[in-house]
Structures are given as C-alpha cells and as structure tokens.
Amino acid sequence: MNAATTPLELARVGHAYFGRTVLDRIDLAVGSSEVVALVGPSGCGKSTLVHVAAGIVEPLRGSVRRGYGRHAMVFQEPRLLPWATARDNIAYPLRIAGMRRGERQACAEAAAARVSFDAADLGKYPVELSGGMRQRVAIARALAVEPDFLFFDEPFTALDVALKRRMQDLVIEAARAARFAALFVTHDLIEAARIAHRIVVLDANGNGIAGQRPLPGEPGLRDDRAVFETVQRFLREDPLFRHIHDVDERKLA
C-alpha cells in the first residue's frame, strides 16, 4: 500500500488510563475507500482505539497519521443535542465548520434524505424521535460533512435485529455511493461480515492486532447465506476468532 494514499495509518499506538495499559503496539492501516471492521471481545480496547484514531483521545505512545481530508463519527449512543431539532442536529458539524445558516440547513436536509429520514420529522426534537430515528439522525449528521473517512463506534448495538439490518444497509449504500473509507468497530461478526472489506481482530488484552482476514466479495453484493457461512467458518475453524465472545466485565469501561 502506498503511504501517500493511505487515509489512516496507526503506528505502534499505545494508551493507558490512570496507569493501566489498555492498548499497546497497535499497527493498523486503512486503505482508500476501504471499510475495515475492527472486532474483539468486550473490554479489549476497541472503543479506545477508534477514539484515538478519530483524534478524541491523544495516544500516550505511537503516532496516528491521517491522509484524508475530513472525517466524521457515529457513536454507540446517538449523542444528539437535546435542545436542537433533528435538522439542527444534522447541521451541527457544519455549524462548527462555520457554514452559513441557510446553506447548512439545505445540506442537512439533503443528508436526511440520504438516510431516508422523513422530512416531516426534521423539526422534531430528539426526545420526540424513536431510537432508530435518533441513530438515523446521527448517521445523517456524519454524512452531512461529506467525509472522506468515517469512524463507527459500535453504532447499532442498541438497536433490534431488523432495524440493525436496515442501518447496516444504509451504511453499505452510503459507502458505495460516496466511496469513503471507514473504521467500523463492532463485536457482531455478522455485522462485520456484511459491511466490511476486511476484518481486523484486536488482541483480547489490547496487546497488538491479533490478526486479520479479508472478506470475499464486495459489501452489499454478498447474500445472507455467504455472510452466514463466512461467520460460521470463522467461529468453527479459525483460531483467530476463538476468544471473540469472551467477556471480561471488569474491563468494561
């Protein structure tokens, strides 16, 4: 991979909270227009890693090199401003960027249309929206800035199965249309196998990358049977995924 075109490159990244090391010696690169799923057991530091990569947390060791223009992020919770309407929430990053009011409202409405958010609900406040609609707003907010890179931090964990699928399709569609690269943190292997080009498994103790597997085919073109069989093969035969469903409650931050 050519360094000049690599949108995101993490080199020897390590981080600790109050002296307790949660991440160490992480090397990870994401290619252009590539969606990488980052999986690992609960509490292994996936969230911290994506926060470091997105620049919310400064890593203690190592370096993060960003070759893309603009990034956006979708969190596990929608993280909407309770006092702003759906429209203003979607437009919030544009407001930070200093865009004029009329212009950013138009951008927000276009972004809402891209995630099939009903225009009639744009004037509602987050309290008036259902969980799925709130997460839709959060995705629209991320798409509104027209990012070259998207960070997802377990965005659909709290949604029910049907809604989850719809949201995944939405992300797959958006990634195919806008050709952004993405780092998608999840602990759901089916989700990873549907959305990503490549699965990266983080070590159970956050001690480096345990390994990675390319996924056959293109996201969005894989049928359910292929996705299911891939995941079954990973879980039954591949030692890399042996600890993926281990849970260490003490480490859940």
User: Site residues (CB under 8 A) for another protein?
Assistant: 51, 54-56, 71-73, 75, 77, 79, 81-84, 92-93, 95-97, 124-128, 145, 151
At closest approach, how far in Å is the CB of 47 from another protein? 11
At closest approach, how far in Å is the CB of 88 from another protein? 10
Strands across the sheet with 71-74, in order? 71-74, 149-153, 181-185, 35-39, 198-202, 209-214
At closest approach, how far in Å is the CB of 77 from another protein? 6
Instruction: Select from 56, 11, 22 the least CA-distant residue to 153.
Output: 56
At closest approach, how far in Å is the CB of 207 from another protein? 25
User: In the complex with another protein, which residue's Cβ is closer, 95 or 165?
Assistant: 95
CA angle 192, 196, 201 (to 5 degrees): 55
CA angle 18, 24, 28 (to 5 degrees): 130
User: In the complex with another protein, which residue's Cβ is closer, 37 or 52?
Assistant: 52
Residues 241 and 230 sit within 8 Å (Cβ to Cβ): no
At closest approach, how far in Å is the CB of 214 from another protein? 28
Structure-token match 């995705």, residue found? 139
Q: What is the dihedral of CA 12, 35, 48, 242, to 10 degrees?
A: -90
User: In the complex with another protein, which residue's Cβ is closer, 145 or 231?
Assistant: 145
Name, in order, each residue with C-beta under 8 angstroms of 49's C-beta and a sequence gap of 6 or more: 10, 13, 23, 26, 28, 38, 185, 202, 206
User: In the complex with another protein, which residue's Cβ is closer, 12 or 70?
Assistant: 70
Distance from C-alpha of 172 to C-alpha of 45, rounded to nearest angstrom: 25
User: In the complex with another protein, which residue's Cβ is closer, 54 or 215?
Assistant: 54
Helix, strand, or coil here: 18?
coil
User: In the complex with another protein, which residue's Cβ is closer, 148 or 203?
Assistant: 148
At closest approach, how far in Å is the CB of 87 from another protein? 12
Instruction: Select from 146, 141, 5 the least CA-distant residue to 81.
Output: 141
User: In the complex with another protein, which residue's Cβ is closer, 75 or 234?
Assistant: 75
At closest approach, how far in Å is the CB of 98 from another protein? 9
